[in-house]
Structure 1
Amino acid sequence: AANWLDGRAAERVKQWDEDGRAAKVLEVTGTTTFGGLFPVLIEELAATQPDVVARATTHLNCKDWIRFKLTGERLTDYTEASRSFLDVRTTDGFSAELAKDLGLEEYARLLPQIHRADGKAVPLSEEAARETGIPAGTPVGVGMIDVAVTGMGLGALENGDSWLILGTTAFVGTLLPSVSERRSDLSMVLATGNGKQVLEFMAPMTGTPNLDWIRKVLGLEENSWTELEKLARMSKPGASGVVYLPYASPGGERAPFLDTNASASWAGMSLTSSTEDILRSVYEGVAFSLVECINTLQIHSDLVVSGGGFRSDLICEILADATGQTVV
């Protein structure tokens, strides 16, 4: 299995930008092209692992694979389909024209049927019941991509509702009546299955892994997160001029900008920089990355947050101070 952090197709992203295919993906699916996107990744896998691709029967993302193992049904929903060949302008289904324009029409066979997230559930199979202990026949819903269903859990259902997530990746999103209302060509767009409504979002590749990494590098793995945050607070806001760029993914960055060569780095360091300064700079870098996304998507309401990273009072405070908005 390959995930969204996969860096193998980084060079292909550059090629697609240059030959116009990335623009076609953006026009039809509303999504900027990055190395972990299905159309790019399947081209890479077909070139480097042709036998594997030849044997493949269906492309399934994480939750769809789990549902397949539970029910035997190969299905997806509109949010997941948006990351392949779904035309989000009409939400009528996969675009055969896009697949052809990308030179990937032979892989359209891998795409599963699209069902609404609130459509008819599929019963748990007898085999899955034996393996899991869950009663056979238990309804298994189609579901949605994690960031979209998190928004629903936070009460975001209407156009204009927005929310943030800070976990392995970061996320800033807002619901819009249609893709024509999008605020940025650097964002990604997912159809929700609710008419032409879309979720426009920006998702920096790495969120909390920046904190995990600096904790390890500074030899602070034995310290609790509470102790780590206390240490970071010993540095003043601005981290004594130390600035951290949180672009730590091997595949580069996709938000708040797209650059397959982007990497994490520091600026403003000197012999006077302390452990506390370096640590605080990472907290600030992660938060400021979110601020850029908030500004790009023109979110002016209270910031409704979710995800393990927002257990950090310090990150919430930095976010509130930098935006002037209430974090809830």
Structure 2
Amino acid sequence: MYLGIDIGTSSVKAVIMDDHDLPVATASVPLALSLPRPLWCEQAPEGWWQAVVDSLDALANQAPTAMAAVRGIGLSGQMLGVTLLDASDTPIRPALLWNDGRASAECADLHARFEDFADIVGCRAMPGFPAPKLLWLARHEPAALARARRILLTKDYIRLRLTGEAISDRADASATLLMETVRAEWHDGILAACGVDHGQLPRLVDSTEVSGTLRGSLTGRWHLPSGTPVAGGGGDNMCAGVGVGAVQAGSAYISLGTSGVYFAANDRFVPAHGGGMHTHRHAVPGLYCQHAVVLSAGAALAWIAGLLGRDIAGLIAELEAQSLSTDATPVFTPYLAGERTPHDNPLLTATFSRLTHMTGPLHLVQAVLEGVALAMADGHAALAASGARIDRIFLTGGGARSALWARLVAAAIGQPLHLAAEQRSGPAIGAARLARAAIGGPLIAAAPRVPASVVSVDARLAEQLDRKRSLFHGQVQGVRI
């Protein structure tokens, strides 16, 4: 048995996986977000830890025998978070998250200082990434940054609480933009430009390497074996790739979670020089990964459901029973928190257009699904333009459970999608697989599970979405152009 823990944006998920990659028991605990100012998005690190404790408490009560058989723990987590800890390892301030957009000016400053920035780290600086956020802290909260004994990513804060070790893996760390991606080591010049030093950053290990062992005070509480090893793990995007099976060059996945992620595995380093694209190290040794990201996917669906005062599952069920034509729905751009791919603009805003007296609540909901699908198609186009090889695309994330949304995405990008076997636990499954690899086992079971089904491209739906595409592209910041 192997335990995978994924610290997401909206919840912590934990899964016990057996030797055949099948989940034996799962637990999930929600997390709260803080939006203190426009463009800001923060979260309390203590909330992550408490949700991990609660989820493992639930697994210990639900499946004590399986927990006692766990041979390794893997960690996955939302990427790009900046957590500052003082000398007693207490958080100094809330963590700045991946969709925090306050550091635009700092991005420009980094590019001015390093002409070859993207070639060093894998992409241009964008506001959600740690390097510009640390520079922002150096300028606006210098006392907090000076007090920081440690600067950790989300899952690495949990690793510290679990093992006492301040360590990160080279895959997740490559997305901080503080690391020379090919060499896989911190970059002295960029660290200095952002006002941090080596001593504040964690030691680096591989994703499939043991990073420490579980504290003895925790093993009894959760029925885990003494000295349980904890693997390096990875960012949630890399772990989702391992979880769905995107572990070879040419394999890809689309995740419809809080954000929308289009991830492609590559066997060569292809730095992204624009279009909101980014390239990092994969959690699989020897591979890199290219990303296109839509900042508001499931978040956009949750937003419209909240405005309507309805439950998401109920809305989707009602919508799928109605079979609305896309010709009757408004055009929606999902830029509720700005956008990364392909616009790289934290100031973009979401818009509806083509509203009429006939527009009802379900039309608005379907327009949101269509808008996210068209945004993911922009990501597909950006990846293709970069030369990324895409042989097979998996679909995962909570949104993948909607047959309508899956059909819309397949039609928008013009390629079939293979539904992942575990749509909501992909990163946690990937983390568990990394734990197995860290103690000498195979990354993927000898007989991997076959995806449940394939979502084919509906030619009629693709034609309808294509008619909407020009309207979608003209709808930026509420102005038709």
Does residue 169 (structure 1) correspond to residue 259 (structure 2)? The answer is yes
Q: For 1:321, which of 402, 411, 419 is the aligned residue?
A: 411
Report what 2:365 is aligned to.
Answer: 279
Aligned to 1:83: 175
Q: Distance in 2 between matches of 1:48 and 1:182?
A: 29
User: Cα distance, 1:302 vs. partner?
Assistant: 3.9
Is residue 237 from structure 1 mapped to residue 326 from structure 2 by the alignment?
Answer: yes
In structure 2, what is the Cα distance between the partners aligned to 1:199 and 1:173? 7
Give the AA of the match of 1:32: R
Please report the RMSD computed on the Cα atoms of aligned residues, expressed in angstroms: 2.5
Q: 1:65 aligns with which of 151, 157, 172?
A: 157
Q: Distance in 2 between matches of 1:31 and 1:225?
A: 38
Q: Which moved more, 1:267-276 or 1:160-169?
A: 267-276
**In 2, Cα distance between the equivalents of 1:300 and 1:268?**
34
Identify if the C-alpha distance between structure 1 residues 296 and 225 changes in structure 2 by more than 3 Å, giving closer, same or farther: same
1:97 aligns with 2:211: no
**1:244 positional shift:** 0.2
Give the corresponding residue for 1:138. Answer: 228
8 Å CA contact 2:135, 2:195 repeated in 1: no
Give the CA deviation at 1:247.
0.8
Aligned pairs, number:
319
Deviates more, 1:112-121 or 1:303-312: 112-121
Structure 2: distance between partners of 1:182 and 1:161 = 19
* Contact 1:59–1:111, Cα closer than 8 Å, also in 2: yes
Identify the residue that residue 336 of structure 2 maps to in structure 1: 248
* 2:170 is aligned with 1:74: no
Does residue 291 of the first structure (1) align with residue 377 of the second (2)? yes
**CA–CA distance in structure 2, aligned partners of residues 208 and 160 of structure 1:** 26
Secondary structure of the corresponding residue to residue 59 of structure 1: strand
Q: TM-score, normalised by structure 1?
A: 0.88
2:148 counterpart (56, 70, 75): 56
Give yes or no for contact 1:165–1:305 (8 Å, CA) kept in 2: yes
SS of match in other structure, 1:36: coil
- Cα offset, 1:136, TM superposition: 3.3
- How far does the alpha carbon of each residue in 1:52-106 deviate from its partner, in whole angstroms, 9 at most, with x for none? 2112112211111111111011111111211232112x32411113334xx2254
Offset of residue 46 of structure 1 = 2.3
What does residue 438 of structure 2 align with? Answer: none
Structure holding more strand per residue = 2
Give the whole-Å Cα distance in 1 for the aligned partners of 2:392 and 2:294: 20
User: Given the alignment, which residue of 195, 210, 218 partners 1:128?
Assistant: 218
Deviations 1:20-55 (A, max 9, x none): 257543221112322221111111222232222112
Where does the alignment leave 5 or more consecutive residues of structure 2 unmatched? 1-94, 419-481
Q: What is the TM-score of this pair, normalised by structure 2?
A: 0.61
Change (3 A) 1:239 1:73: farther
Per the alignment, residue 268 of structure 2 pairs with 178
SS at match of 1:303: strand
Conserved 8 A contact 1:239-1:280: no
Shift of 1:135: 3.7
3-state DSSP class of the match of 2:270?
helix
Q: Secondary structure at the match of 2:352?
A: strand
Check whether the contact 1:31–1:189 (CA below 8 A) recurs between aligned residues: yes
Do the aligned partners of 1:176 and 1:199 also contact (CA within 8 Å) in 2? yes
Q: What SS does the aligned partner of 1:31 have?
A: coil
Take 1:248 and 1:109, find their aligned partners in 2: how far apart are those partners?
37
Letter in 1 for 2:290: E
For residue 332 of structure 2, give the secondary structure of its aligned residue in structure 1.
strand
Distance 2:314 2:157 in 1: 35
Structure 2 contact 179–185 (Cα < 8 Å) conserved = yes
* 2:109 counterpart residue number: 16
The alpha carbon displacement at 1:234 in A equals 4.5
**CA–CA separation in structure 2 for the residues paired with 1:151 and 1:222:** 26
Q: Which runs of 5+ in 1 are unaligned?
A: none
- Kept in 2, the 8 Å contact 1:128–1:136? The answer is no
Aligned partner of 1:119 in structure 2 is 209
SS of the aligned residue for 1:179 comes to: coil
Equivalent-residue separation in structure 2 for 1:23 and 1:224 (angstroms): 50
For residues 312 and 22 of structure 1, do their structure 2 counterparts lie closer, same or farther at Cα, with a shift above 3 Å needed? farther
1:269 aligns with 2:362: no
| Cα distance in 1 for residues equivalent to 2:102 and 2:414 | 39
